[in-house]
Every structure is written in C-alpha cells, then in structure tokens.
C-alpha cells in the first residue's frame, strides 16, 4: 500500500482550479493515513493552509526532504523538474485543462500513467501524444458532499440567481445572464474573486440561491447543494443540467466543450424557463451519489497501488530536454512579475468600480434632494391644514370651558350636600377609581418596554440588533406567541398553561422556543414564584428571564406582524411602547419576494401585504398613543439622530455601541436555530435562517435604499403602485410614474 505521495502544481495562491482539487485530494488521502507533500515554485497564501494541515510545501527542488512512493505530477514545467529529480519513482501526469499550455504532457519523460479529468482532456492527450484511449485513465472531478449539505426545497419559480465563477469581471456572459434575470424578475448576484465576493465557503453562500450560472467545479458545487444549474462561461451559453443529460455532461466535466459558441440571450432565457424544483432535486441526488470526494480519493488510491506494476512509456523520446532549478527560479520570477501586473490591473478595476459606486451615490443623493423638496411641499400643505384644524380646536376648547363651568357648579352643589351630612353611596364608577388610586399609591411604574413592529424586510431586524447592542436592553428573536393573547386571557391562568403556550407556539408548524436558548424548566420555576399569577405577569416573566440570561435589566420585543395586535398587547402590558419602522414598499417587496415567507409571487400580493401591515400599525398608533414612527431610509443614511430619538422615546440613555451593531450581530443572528416541525420535518435549516438576515450583520449601507429602481421591472413597479400608490404618496415616497 502506497504511503507517500509527492505532488507538483503550478502555484498555490488562491482557491481555484487545480489548487482546490489538490486541497480536496490531499485532505482525503491524509485522512486515510497517507503522507502527502507538494512541490510548487510559486507558493502563496493558500500554501500556508496546507502547511497548517500538516502537509509540507517546498518551493525549490533541492529542498525536498520526502522520499516518495509515487509522483502525482500536474503542470508541464513543474512536472518535468520533479520527474528528473526522482527518475526511478513511478509517476503519473494529470491533465486538468483541454487548452492551457501548462497542461501539455512533458515530452521525453517516462510515465506509468496519464490521467484526464474529462473527455475533452482525453482527446487533447491523444492528439498531442498519440496515446490510445485504453492507455489513458479518466477520473472525473468531485465535490465534498460532507461539507456541501443539501439546501431546503426550491420554490416553484426561481426568485434569486447568481453567477458563480472564478475569473469573470463583468464579462459579456455575466451581462447576458443579468439581463435575462432582470427581464424575468429574478434577483441577480455575482460570486467570485473578480466580482469582489471571494467565496471560500460555498456551503454557506450557495444555499441562498435557487438558480446558479457557472461551469466545471463551480457548477458541480451548486448542483450538490440542490440549486438548479445552467452552464455558462466566456466561451458561450450551455443548457440547464437535467437528470437526462447529467451522465453525458459529467463526461465532459460540465465544461467549456458543452457551451454554444455565442451568447444567445433568447436561448439562455429558454433555459431559465426550464427551471424545475423536481428536476434539480434528482440532479442533486446524482451528484451526491456519483461525484463524492470519497469516491475520487478511492480511485486515486487504487491507481497509486497499480503504478509500480505498470509498464512505463516515453512521450516523444527524441524531444527530451532538461529542466534545471535555475530555469524554474527564473520562471517563478516571471510569474511573480505577472502576478504584480494582475494586482495593478485589479486595483484599476476596483477604482473603476469605486467611481461607479460614487456616481450611484451622487444619483441617489440627487433623488433624495428631490424627495426632500417634495416633502417640504407636503409639509407646507400640511401646515395650512393644521392651521385650519387649530381654529376648529379653539372653538372646541371654548365649548369645553363652558361645559367645565357647569361641572364646577355641580361639584359645588355636591360639596353643599356633603356638608349637610346627607351622605350618598358612591357609584360603581367612583368605587373603581378609588380602588385604582389606592392600588397605585406608592407603586413604581415599570420602564417602557419597546415593541418593534412593521412590514417584514423593512429593517425591523436591523433596528432590533442596534437596540440590543445597548448594555441595558435585551431583545430576543421573534416571539410570535402574543398573537394568541385574546385566546389565552379567556381561560384560567395556570403555570402549566402559560409554559405550554410560550414554549410550543406555533404548535402546528415549527415552535420558536429553541431560538431563545432558555430551559423550559427554568421558565416553569420562575413562573411558579409569581403571586398572583396573571397572564401579564407570566409574559413579563418570560422577557425578564431572557434579559437576565443576557445580563441586562430591561427587555423588549421585535415581531413585525405585532402591528396587527398592538391594542391587545397594550391592554395586557400597559408599559409597552411601539416603534413602527416603515420602508419604501417597493424596496420591501424586492427583499421579501426572495424569502421563504413571501406572501405570494406577484407584486399585487406584495403590495397588499405591505399595505395591510403599515396601515394597521398607523391606525392603532393614532388612538393608542405611546407610539413612534421611524423611517428605514433615515436609519441607514444617518443612524445616530434616529437612535437618539428612539432612546429618548424609551427613557433610555443613548449609548454609542448601537452605532456599531455589526460587532455583535453575528452572535445574535446565530441564535436562530433551524425551524423543525413537531413531526421532525426541517422547514428551514439554521444556515438558511441566518442567511435571511445577513445584511443586518453588516454596517449600515445607504446603497440598499432605492434598489427597486434597478432590480424591479417597469411592469412590476406599475403593478405595485396601482395597488399601493396612494399609501406610498401619503408616506412621502414619490411614484415612478409621477
């Protein structure tokens, strides 16, 4: 059994191509007890990760200390140097690319095996060397299925898509995919180093998307988590991967040979319309069954054990040449120079993107100025209306003064009766106020308890994380159980009923209790100490227990649709104060429709849902009092004055920790556990739930304001405004058609 394998590779700088292949294979071999080492003239940051894993990396041939049993050679020049240093060791050469010059099989060298990753590479080897198919081993690429876990079920139509690539920099195929997604109303992202999103953890990024554009390994990773995949690259556009074409596409490594030599936008749109959640699920099963990392490692182990017994053959023996250490060092120097040029090119690209972003900021500011001007106009109109209302109120006050004189006269008459000892029995109303006054005598009013409400995706989570960063205030994940206040207060209140209600709600779907990380017995013990036990004190007991866990004296809540239950909550908890956060409904709809809890697929569904929450919150605030309205746009553009006003409203001293919410946001968001039904069915994974609020873990970003203008089609904007246009204008958000 082979124990020591020495690899060669062009470089170890980033996680792309052969570097990632080498990382997976070396880890798998090391886990099975093999010793691995790597020779590369160009070690980079990725080389340090190999060393930390216990795999040595050598930059110079003369420094190699390993005595290998097998040479696994990759890339022409490096392989030639390695096989010349160890001429008697069985060696294989592996071809990963059907076009790159550095994947040419070295001439004049003796090989026990030549390996191709797909049919295209196999054809290249035959054309360059004259080897026959039976002299070439084919071992396809794989993915680590233990790391790339299945995502949740796909929706009926794709809501969010990404192009996943290593090198594309807004190339034409990226623009084509973006245009198709915009036409079909699909949110679109770019993933990869060139797009400014270096993805070292695809297992956390890919589950956020329903549809992924890519090729080769990127496509394989997306299929492994359950995304639908369409092949695309700078060479052209390919088809959607389906169970029917999977076997054929696998032979060609899902690579460039499957792409049509053009960027036909209509053809790509047809492929997107082939989206099928069922088909993507079958493809996922095929990938996980036939392309696992363990299977690939086992194939290489078997090949390594066969190499000593195989007949070694020479590729073009008359073309022998020697690769010296000096030549390799010179090649490394040239490579470093090339990398420096690439670095400067990337800096130029980053500067261009920065200029584009600045231009977008200026455009947004111009729009904001126009919006403020319109707001000032509305304010002038409002002042005129207020003056008219003021006149009516003065007239009403005069009437109240006249009635007050009558009541004073009646009061004087009552005093006269009392002085003549004609005592009358107090009325039921007088008894009630007497008991209320006596009961409150000397009692200290509890501090205000904030309840953050609003339409989902309007910034409620961001505001929760900001307020929760205050050292005096703890706000748990969404509680939801207060939706049943009226039902619970109509029955006899017992410890068992209260604990059952809070810890199992909603009992028919997926209880939220696990998000709070509290022991059920601890809640039961705390409630048993209450005397008397009431529904109000039982609810306060839960919040106080959560705040105590966070070592904070005050508590609050963030459940967006409590905007529909503000009157019931105020009746139960008089110290409750409501903070209603409002966001432009078109931006809220853009964000909400990509979520699993979206109210429906159309903009009409989104508009009606947004209106129902916002109007209910404003209607309740008008008669309840103790309510504050906050605009999302002001919160992200200038958070400090908004947070100071909120703190004043809550009788809470301002603390600057709230301006740096991102420093503790990740820990708070990771409290959200997976949603599991009572029957054990996984509704949403923990990773999927964390991804729902990933923007709240970042510093505030004013560029999130007005995204609907860029990412919603004009037809969808018109559909939304036809339903909710009047409310948008009432709130000061200008219509696109105005």
pLDDT tens, residue by residue, 301-359: 999 999 999 988 887 765 545 555 555 555 666 666 666 666 667 777 778 877 888 88
pLDDT at position 432 is 42
pTM of the model: 0.46
Select from 283, 233, 240 the least CA-distant residue to 259.
233
Q: Can you tell me the distance from the alpha carbon of 631 to that of 652, in angstroms, rounded to the nearest whole number?
A: 20
pLDDT at position 421 is 45
Q: Which CATH architecture has domain 449-730?
A: 3-Layer(aba) Sandwich (3.40)
- pLDDT: is 398 or 642 the higher one? 642
Q: Can you tell me the distance from the alpha carbon of 512 to that of 510, in angstroms, rounded to the nearest whole number?
A: 7
Q: Kindly indicate the confidence band of residue 428, based on its pLDDT and cuts at 50, 70 and 90.
A: very low
Q: Kindly indicate the confidence band of residue 375, based on its pLDDT and cuts at 50, 70 and 90.
A: confident
pLDDT at position 195 is 56
Q: How far is CA 585 from the centre of its chain?
A: 21
pLDDT at position 383 is 83
Cis upstream peptide for 448 (omega within 30°): no
Is the per-residue pLDDT at 472 higher than 60?
A: yes
pLDDT at position 496 is 93
**Residues 243-259, mean pLDDT to the nearest whole number:** 92
DSSP string, 264-301: -HHHHHHHHHT--HHHHHHHHHHHHHHSBHHHHHHHHH
Percent pLDDT > 90 in the chain is: 59
Tell me the CATH class for 4-141+293-313: alpha beta
pLDDT at position 17 is 82
- Residue that the structure tokens 């060393």 belong to: 51
Q: What is the pLDDT of residues 638-682, one digit of tens each?
A: 999 999 999 999 999 999 999 999 988 888 888 888 888 877 788
pLDDT at position 424 is 42
- Residue that the structure tokens 């040029």 belong to: 341
Q: Can you tell me the distance from the alpha carbon of 174 to that of 210, in angstroms, rounded to the nearest whole number?
A: 17
pLDDT at position 240 is 97
- pLDDT: is 110 or 277 the higher one? 277
pLDDT at position 464 is 95
pLDDT at position 331 is 62
Q: Kindly indicate the confidence band of residue 107, based on its pLDDT and cuts at 50, 70 and 90.
A: confident
Q: Can you tell me the distance from the alpha carbon of 378 to that of 384, in angstroms, rounded to the nearest whole number?
A: 10
CB-based contact 349:169 (threshold 8 Å): yes
Name the burial class of residue 521, with classes exposed (0-12), middle (13-18) and buried (19+) by CB atoms within 10 angstroms of its CB. Answer: exposed
pLDDT at position 433 is 39
Q: What is the mean pLDDT of the chain?
A: 87
pLDDT at position 323 is 55
Tell me the CATH class for 160-290: alpha beta
pLDDT at position 669 is 85
- Locate 182 and state its tokens: 């915009």
pLDDT at position 423 is 38
- pLDDT: is 382 or 140 the higher one? 140
Select from 204, 206, 229, 234 the least CA-distant residue to 219.
229
């Amino acid at each position: 059994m082979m124990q020591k394998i020495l690899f060669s590779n062009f470089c170890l700088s980033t996680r792309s191509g052969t570097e990632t292949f080498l990382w997976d294979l070396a880890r798998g071999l090391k886990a099975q007890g093999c010793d691995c080492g790597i020779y590369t003239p160009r070690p980079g940051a990725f080389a340090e990760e190999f060393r930390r894993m216990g795999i040595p990396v050598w930059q110079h041939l003369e420094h190699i200390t390993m005595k290998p049993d097998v040479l696994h050679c990759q890339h022409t020049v490096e392989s030639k140097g390695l096989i010349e240093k160890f001429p008697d060791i069985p060696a294989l050469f592996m071809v990963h690319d059907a076009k790159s010059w550095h994947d040419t099989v070295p001439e004049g060298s003796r090989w026990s095996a030549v390996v191709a990753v797909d049919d295209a590479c196999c054809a290249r080897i035959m054309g360059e060397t004259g080897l026959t198919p039976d002299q070439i081993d084919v071992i396809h690429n794989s993915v680590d299925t233990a790391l790339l876990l299945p995502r949740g079920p796909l929706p009926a139509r794709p809501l969010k898509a990404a192009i996943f690539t290593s090198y594309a920099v807004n190339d034409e195929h990226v623009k084509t995919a973006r245009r198709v997604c915009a036409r079909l109303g699909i949110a679109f992202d770019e993933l990869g180093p060139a797009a400014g999103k270096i993805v070292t953890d695809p297992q956390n990024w890919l589950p956020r998307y329903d549809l992924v554009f890519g090729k080769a390994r990127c496509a394989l990773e997306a299929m492994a988590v359950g995304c639908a995949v369409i092949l695309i690259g700078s060479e052209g556009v390919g088809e959607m991967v389906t169970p029917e074409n999977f076997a054929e596409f696998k032979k060609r490594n899902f690579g460039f040979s499957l792409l049509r030599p053009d960027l036909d936008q209509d053809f790509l749109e047809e492929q997107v319309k082939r989206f099928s959640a069922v088909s993507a699920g079958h493809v996922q099963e095929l990938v996980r069954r036939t392309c696992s990392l363990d299977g690939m490692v086992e194939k290489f182990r078997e090949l390594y054990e066969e190499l000593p017994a195989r007949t070694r053959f020479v590729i073009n023996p008359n073309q022998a040449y020697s690769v010296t250490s000096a030549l390799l060092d010179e090649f490394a120097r040239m490579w470093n120079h090339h990398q420096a040029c690439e670095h400067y090119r990337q800096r130029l690209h980053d500067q261009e993107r920065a200029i584009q972003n600045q231009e977008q900021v200026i455009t947004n500011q111009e729009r904001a100025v126009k919006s403020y001007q319109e707001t000032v106009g509305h304010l002038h109109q409002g002042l005129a209306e207020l003056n008219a209302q003021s006149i009516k109120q003065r007239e009403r006050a005069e009437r109240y003064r006249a009635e007050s004189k009558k009541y004073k006269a009646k009061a004087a008459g009552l005093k006269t009766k009392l002085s003549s000892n004609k005592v009358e029995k107090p009325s039921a109303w007088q008894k009630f106020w007497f008991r209320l006054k006596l009961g409150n005598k000397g009692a200290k009013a509890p501090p205000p308890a904030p309840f953050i409400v609003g339409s989902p995706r309007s910034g409620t989570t961001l505001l929760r994380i900001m307020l929760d960063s205050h050292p005096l205030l703890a706000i748990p994940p969404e509680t939801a159980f207060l939706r049943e206040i009226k039902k619970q207060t109509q029955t006899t209140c017992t410890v068992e009923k209260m604990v059952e209600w809070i810890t199992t709600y909603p009992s028919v779907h997926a209880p939220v209790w696990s998000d709070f990380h509290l022991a059920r017995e601890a809640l039961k013990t705390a409630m048993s100490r209450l005397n008397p036990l009431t529904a109000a004190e039982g609810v306060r007991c839960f919040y106080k227990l959560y705040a105590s866990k966070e070592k904070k004296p005050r508590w609050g809540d963030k459940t967006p649709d409590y905007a529909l239950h503000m009157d019931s909550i105020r009746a139960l908890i008089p110290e409750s104060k409501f903070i209603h956060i409002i966001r432009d409904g078109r931006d809220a709809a853009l964000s909400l429709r990509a979520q699993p809890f979206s109210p429906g697929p159309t903009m009409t569904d989104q508009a009606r849902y947004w209106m129902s929450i916002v109007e209910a919150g404003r209607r309740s605030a008008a008669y309840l009092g103790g309510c504050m309205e906050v605009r999302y746009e002001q919160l992200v553009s200038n958070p400090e004055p908004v947070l100071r006003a909120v703190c004043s409203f809550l009788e809470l001293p301002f603390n600057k920790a709230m301006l740096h919410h991102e420093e503790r946001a990740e820990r708070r968001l990771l409290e959200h556990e997976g949603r599991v039904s009572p029957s054990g069915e996984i509704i949403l994974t923990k990773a999927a739930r964390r991804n729902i609020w990933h923007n709240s873990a970042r510093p505030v970003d004013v560029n999130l304001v007005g995204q609907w203008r860029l990412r919603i089609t004009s037809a969808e904007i018109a559909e939304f405004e036809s339903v909710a246009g009047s409310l948008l204008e009432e709130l000061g958000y200008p219509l696109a058609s105005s």
